[in-house]
Structure 1
Amino acid sequence: MRTRFAPSPTGPLHLGHAYSVILAHDMARAAGGEFLLRMEDTDLQRCRPEWEALIIEDLAWLGLTWDGDVLRQSDKIATYNARLETLDERGLLYPCSCTRGDIRAALSAPQEGVAHPVYPGICRSRTLASRLPGDALRLDLGKALSVLARQDLTFTETGPTHCGRQVVDPELALATIGDVVLSRKGEDIVAYFLASAFDDADQGITHVIRGEDLFEFTPIQVILQHLFDLPTPVYHHHRLIRDENGKRLAKRDDARAIRKYREDGATPADIRNMVGLS
């Protein structure tokens, strides 16, 4: 078993992060496997070295260890972009200059049953030759699914909510995912699910341990894995740590930051108790 923890250094770790990283670490160690640390820092505008340093400090304080060096996605942006060229060669990419306002205006009615607005394909007829500075690159999901029509788009889930063999339904993917952005020109930003799919394969990750709020991203990652002939790991989407009102924690919840608990005299054992992993 090889697991990983892949935070974005855009703020402090909170109790939700603690639960996820301790779970991934302990599952790997219990199986005699490896646990890796990766910084998903492709958003160069929001990621900061001081946040990365604090993350590493918090993890060490929690008593967690990782195997090998820390991987930083910001060091691999050129590699990600080079890999995207293979999709271009297959006619699966197109440039997009739409703003969020353009997309909202094009959607004539609210979309039912989707977590995010599905891009309506405004720029789908454009060619890569028409790409302008600042244009994003989108995946033509319909064409991609046609390419993968005979492949087994499935993954294994071991989490408490979605457990067992999961099938990626092409029609549902088109209706709820759509033509996702894979990169943004001029900003050196590569989509989370794309960089993550590449790195999970490159690092030999066998089990992805993460929050259930990321379950909805798994079908697009499976599609990308098949497009690039990458292996599909086992996924374990765990419960979320929520506040007293039932709202999941976010980085703005500084009151629940690991640093704050440390400063207030908590111990690593206290943190484990707080998240139910004692």
Structure 2
Amino acid sequence: MTGRFAPTPSGRMHIGNVYAMLGAWLSARSRGERMMMRIEDVDGPRVVAGADRLMMDDLHWLGLDWDGEPMFQSRRTERYEYALECLRSQGVLYPCFCSRADIRAASAPNEGDGFTVYPGTCRRLLREHPEQVRARLTRGDRHSIRIAMPEAAVAFTDGVYGPRRYDLAREVGDCVIRRADGLFGYQLAVVVDDLDMGVDDIVRGRDLLRSTALQMRIRRCLLEGGFEPEHGGIDPCAAGRPASRCAARPAYAHLPLIDNAAGRRLAKRERSLDMGALRARGVRPEQIIGYCAWLLRLRPDPSACPPADLLADFSWTPLRGEHDDRILDPASPHTPAWLAEAL
């Protein structure tokens, strides 16, 4: 199996990013797996110049390594174009002329994970008035491209949250895979990248649980559309296994989120907790790793330790019974002095 780091270079890493990356690194390295690096810079307007170098420097400083050279999404447009053609061959794509305001107005409230289910406006338009769609395309109207979800469910067993099941049509909805500005969507890019890198050990925040169902569906459609991964390992798909089984190969583990003292998800704009600020204050890498290990419930207290000390006893078992999001509370007796001062 192969794990991966997949940071977005939109700013300096913070404690929450390190916590997730430590989990990903331990999951892979504890089993002697490869660990890859992908810089998720497909959304150019969000990229902060130099942030990728700082992130990789911080990971080296923390003692979290990876194999080979990093992959940059911004250099992979041809692969995403190829993937789009594979999906088009399956007849699952359609143009969407809706604005974000249109979608918000027509959508039901989401469940707090930031996932808005598209109400299917343009899918119905294509079904009921295809001539209008053709006319708008001929006219050059601005549009994104969505992938249609079937009336079916996707199920998987998460390493932390256990069995999960999502109704693709009702709980996931049709997703944008190419934006109206021409940029490829996150959901398509990460599936293509994981296939090309041979990644099948995926660790990330629990806010992406629902996205996992979507990505499993995109993965299946790609493989059934003839998509051929770049990675050089032995692909079970090439050994005669059905594409639908190959599409379910990744193992997933989703982690509770890290919130600030106000209960809001930790963000990169909270500069006092980013790696640059903590390193400038003289905080040692072992202190940060030890605290993140405690957040992962791998240690009984947040005492300092290097990541290698966590490998022998690594397991997701402690998290399976404790799904509550973590709160960085300066008044908590578990909050070390260096972190309380930063908070």
TM-score, normalization: structure 1?
0.86
* Conserved? CA contact 2:154–2:168, under 8 Å: no
Structure 2 CA distance for partners of 1:63 and 1:208, relative to 1, 3 Å: same
* Conserved? CA contact 1:133–1:186, under 8 Å: no
1:11 shift after superposition: 1.0
Q: Kindly provide the amino acid, as one letter, of the partner of residue 185 in structure 2.
A: A
Pairs within 5 Å for 1:171-250: 172-188=167-183, 190-229=184-223, 231-232=247-248, 233-250=250-267
Q: Distance in 1 between matches of 2:103 and 2:165?
A: 29
* Conserved? CA contact 2:110–2:117, under 8 Å: no
Structure 2 CA distance for partners of 1:105 and 1:60, relative to 1, 3 Å: same
Pairs within 5 Å for 1:1-278: 1-107=1-107, 110-111=108-109, 113=111, 115=113, 116-124=115-123, 125-126=125-126, 130-131=136-137, 132=140, 134-142=142-150, 145=151, 153-159=154-160, 162-163=161-162, 165-168=163-166, 172-188=167-183, 190-229=184-223, 231-232=247-248, 233-277=250-294, 278=305
Greater relative contact order structure (CA < 8 Å, 6+ sep): 1
1:46 shift after superposition: 1.5
| Deviation string, structure 1 residues 80-130 (Cα, Å, up to 9, x no partner) | 1221122223321111121122223335xx447574332222222346855
Deviates more, 1:61-70 or 1:133-142: 133-142
Q: Percent identity?
A: 34
* Conserved? CA contact 1:154–1:222, under 8 Å: no
1:181 shift after superposition: 0.6
| Deviation string, structure 1 residues 102-159 (Cα, Å, up to 9, x no partner) | 223335xx447574332222222346855436411011213xx5xxx6xx94333111
* Conserved? CA contact 2:188–2:215, under 8 Å: yes
Unaligned runs of 5+ in 2: 224-245, 295-304, 306-343
Q: Distance in 2 between matches of 1:112 and 1:257?
A: 29
1:71 shift after superposition: 0.4
Q: Distance in 2 between matches of 1:237 and 1:66?
A: 20
Q: Distance in 1 between matches of 2:155 and 2:10?
A: 32
Q: Distance in 2 between matches of 1:175 and 1:228?
A: 22
Q: Distance in 1 between matches of 2:168 and 2:293?
A: 34
Q: Kindly provide the amino acid, as one letter, of the partner of residue 105 in structure 1.
A: A
Of structures 1 and 2, the larger Rg is shown by 2
Q: Distance in 2 between matches of 1:203 and 1:97?
A: 33
Structure 2 CA distance for partners of 1:30 and 1:223, relative to 1, 3 Å: same
* Conserved? CA contact 1:37–1:70, under 8 Å: yes
* Conserved? CA contact 2:22–2:292, under 8 Å: no
Q: For residue 276 of structure 1, give the secondary structure of its aligned residue in structure 2.
A: helix
Q: Kindly provide the amino acid, as one letter, of the partner of residue 198 in structure 1.
A: V
* Conserved? CA contact 1:201–1:231, under 8 Å: no
Unaligned runs of 5+ in 1: none
Q: Distance in 1 between matches of 2:252 and 2:283?
A: 31
CA RMSD between the two structures: 2.2
How many residues were matched structurally?
262
Structure 2 CA distance for partners of 1:265 and 1:112, relative to 1, 3 Å: closer
